Amino acid sequence: MSYKTVRELFEHVGRWQKRVEEFCEDVADRSANDRTSAMMNYFAGHERELGRILNEYPKTERAGVLDTWIQHTSEDDVRTFFQKADLDPDQPLDEATATVVEFDDRLRDMYRTLSESSQVPPRVQAVFQNLLEAQEWQTLRNSWSASDSEQYSEGVA
């Protein structure tokens, strides 16, 4: 279990999201398949948007929130993911997709844990609840877009 300020945790998460975004872009660039490229570019955009939201918090939150020390284990889960994850842009699409989805799931779990933790002050819980909602909204939006794309490519739309 580690102690970090909210600001430090945001910095770590921002770096992780950037790595996943770059991984998606690399997969898209190396792929000869237009559908794979489109899907990975879409995932990269998802991570970019969530990173933008995360980067906006220091500008809008009071320093007291960002300088709050919190103790948690969920960051360790995300760190373990990156130690084990194969971010090889030449891997098959299903493996690349599974990697991105697993990262988002772990990030969402971390936000949920911190938003519900009795060890975290309520005003900090609210920040993580907002990040959780943004992550879930972005995921839902991606699902709708993917569904629309599939219907369009199948001639249903």
pLDDT in tens, 62-94: 768 888 898 866 667 777 777 777 788 888 888
Establish if 97 belongs to a structural domain: yes
Per residue of the chain (157 residues), give pLDDT as tens: 678 888 888 888 888 888 888 888 888 888 878 877 887 887 888 788 877 777 777 677 676 888 889 886 666 777 777 777 778 888 888 888 888 888 888 888 888 988 998 888 998 898 889 889 888 887 776 665 555 555 444 554 4
pTM over 0.85: no
How distant is the alpha carbon of residue 26 from its chain centre? 17
Establish if 114 belongs to a structural domain: yes
Establish if 77 belongs to a structural domain: no
- The count of structural domains within the chain is 1
**Structure confidence at residue 42 (pLDDT):** 79
Establish if 78 belongs to a structural domain: no
Contacting residues for 88 by C-beta, under 8 A, at least 6 apart: none
Domain holding 127, by residue range, is 2-71+88-153
Query: Could you tell me the CATH number of the domain that includes residue 98?
Result: 1.20.1260
Establish if 76 belongs to a structural domain: no
Establish if 143 belongs to a structural domain: yes
- Measured between alpha carbons, how far is 20 from 92 in angstroms, rounded to an integer? 16
Q: Which residue in this structure is represented by tokens 């933790």? A: 117
CA dist 7 → 15, 83, 132, 134 (Å): 13, 22, 17, 18
**Structure confidence at residue 80 (pLDDT):** 79
Q: What is the DSSP string of 22-74?
A: HHHHHHHHH-S-HHHHHHHHHHHHHHHHHHHHHHHHHHHS-HHHHT-EEEESH
Establish if 94 belongs to a structural domain: yes
- Nearest CA to 47 among 93, 74, 16? 16
Percent of the chain at pLDDT > 90 equals 3
